[in-house]
Structure 1
Amino acid sequence: MAFTVKDVLRLEVAPALGCTEPVAVALAAAAAVSLLPGKRFDALDVWVDPNIYKNGLAVTIPGTGGLCGLDTAAALGAVGGDPMLRLEVLSPLSEADVARSSELLRLGQVRVHLLSDRRGIYIKAEARQGEHVGEAIIEQHHDHLTSLRMDGADLTDSPLFHEARAGSGGVAELETWLKEQSLQQLLDLADALDADDMAFLQDGVRHNMALADYGLKHGPGLGVGKTFERLVRQNLMKSDMFVAARMLTSAAADARMDGVALPAMSSAGSGNHGLTAILPIWAVKDYLTCTSDEALRAIAVSHIITAYVKAHTGRLSAVCGCSVAAGAGAAAGVAYLMGGDVHHVAGAIKNLMEDLAGIICDGAKAGCALKLATAAGTAVQAALFSLHGVKVKPTDGIIAQSPEQTMRNVGMLSTEGMIETDRTILSIMLEKKISGLVY
């Protein structure tokens, strides 16, 4: 089937409160518990794949006063989460819910287990109440419930089951379709944006700018964004489009990774991807002669390219998707906003890939703000270089003649070439946890 830009936006772009890995665990836990009589449970066990485990170890969970960990996320989802809210499952949390979750963890009633050989997104939550057992499984995507079982019986008509938010196909079908498209066909999708799509894109800007504004005002997390702002005030940095893109994007990441209770508009299943896909373009527009609607169209292009790259690399891997996938999306969007044609956009993507393809993902945490700052600034640079004739040659490394093949090469690097790297990253992080140094 053919997909439209409306399908891409509705399937790949959505609000998410908190880092999507612990949120996905909270969603599975909330779904499992919701099946039990009275939504009460005596014990909860959760099994996760290595990438979910890696990304959920150190990131702060919103509304908890600085708590982190997948076991905490599971307990919170089970006690106070609303699974009908999908990636905003933790929105209803109260202080009493946080206190109750901490008590459950102290008593050992919530446990998380690592499935070390599992590949791809996988979360299984099993909640028990006496003889009753509720089970929920999430696969492939962070909010894609594929199985609900009560006392061993499959539930097929639950309203919790994921339904595609647009068209008759789901994310898997969309990704298959995206991989078959040329860059020109992907850019052409933006021509069909209507008023509802533009309002949705504007809503994404509103969400992510709220995080950026909070980060700039309060300096949470590492305070990368606020430090950029201070350096500009002290005339140690110039206020140009590069710094503006870095400042906004990193400030939003500071806030999000520190657990600020504000949702991000995600892209391709990741809130940080959404920050990178949207905010550099919104920052650059203030340095150009363009309208807000033109910037929103460029953001749509960014989301489309981000989804295209993620279709090749997979949702989670050893490669930092914020840098490579959303960075490529932002570079494409900036080039598009500046009037570039398909050749300029292609050059921007390849420039970005050559520059950032080696950045690893070592889990979600405060330091992600540094990587998002790098991705945002490099996206602007990649676009400007391409518009001025600087384009990486196809003889260079993983860069190919076409942008499509380049992105396929990056996908191969991510899904095949860095499997052992991913294991090593997780091994290092687990050793830190075992030693009691962190987490």
Structure 2
Amino acid sequence: MSDHYEVLNVERTATTAEIKSAYRRLVRQVHPDQGGNAALFRVVQEAWTTLGDPAKRAAYDRTLDGQTNAQPSAPQYEEPTYTPRPEPEPEPAPDPFTWTQTSYQPPPQTSHAAAEPLSGGIEVVPAFGRWRLPALLSLAVLTLLDIAIIAIGGLDGTWDIVFAVGTVAMIVVAMPPHWSRRIPLRRLLKAFGIVTAVLYFLVLFPFSKSGATALQRVVIIALLIGLVLVRVLTGRWSKVHKLDKTIDATAAYDFNLWGRPGEPLVDDGRTAWLSPSDVLRHRRTARILDSVVNALPASKLVHGARIGDVAVSHLLLNGHRVALISSVVGPPGHYALDAYGALQLNGMPVDSPVSGLDAAVAAWRSRLAPVEVRGFLIVHPPVDGQGGITAPLGTEAAVTCLPAQTAANQLQAWLQPEGLLLDRLTLYDILYRAPYA
């Protein structure tokens, strides 16, 4: 199980002041009076009671060292091939199914692109402010045409004044929606503008006997065509403007994390809260995923993502690739998925969240096409740093097993080809639309 240091999310070398600060920050989040989890609050309190007292902390450290140094009991299986080696020894051709690390190490930089700084060229699509300039220019031209047709026709009578007001109302029809919604009586003005546009269209027919000159007819035709064109352009700009406000430059370049491990991204009562042990397992997985995000500047990590009622523990987005991640804690051995997608340990079936992960992969593939979506099941040892957990390498199945000690490297290798690309529409869909699908 995870230790008290994992509960408070601090290193074993942390000072008492750092532990106290982490405790105070965490207790505000999980306190029942603040809407937190009562069981997790008790776990946090127990961790502080132990680590806050120097004598208890020293005794606990000795106990923890004994657990880490003790050789884990061998599982009752007849497959000695997967027994971990006691010491890491570099070899020319190491066995891919044997761990040699004793603690988690961040993945090495595998390419120059992964080392690029945030300001070094993250490509964001769609671009910020797209359609704004052509929409504003076309709206200005349409306004000039409205003024021209009013000046040509003159204001000699009541109907001329009515047509002039209707012509001005046509500008409200052509405005981008995020502008027009701020105008009082906008619905009435839009209706008046549309009726005026229809009347202008009827003036062009010979049976109308309007007496319009050739110049007036040319201006009216230009006005009606311009109204349709401007409305299309301003509508496109308004949609991108909404995206610009939601996934702005700050979120695109600086933010790389949404949600908290072990909690639903959208807390609307449709997703059950997890037990304290599951929350700690999610935190162990999140620490692995943090290193992947640090290595891929354009990647985004979403905890507790959901599509409709189908939730997934973690979601990693980089370019047009999405990794859905879940995790389990299990004893040493060889983990693999059988032909039916069920998890096996040394050839024997074991309980796992693979079925839910497989359903999530299918749902996200259907929604995000043509984005490439794959699922990854990370298997943690009972104690961080223990070896002996292996899984097949190089599989292209919908769901892949990954040992915790190599998971960061394999996830980075799969996401790396997308480079420094962020599709804001995909991120917007994941964060704000898919949960309510």
TM-score interval w.r.t. the shorter chain? Answer: under 0.3
Higher helix share: 1
Query: Which entry has the higher C-alpha Rg, 1 or 2?
Result: 2
Scaled by the length of structure 1, the TM-score of the pair is: 0.24
Scaled by the length of structure 2, the TM-score of the pair is: 0.24
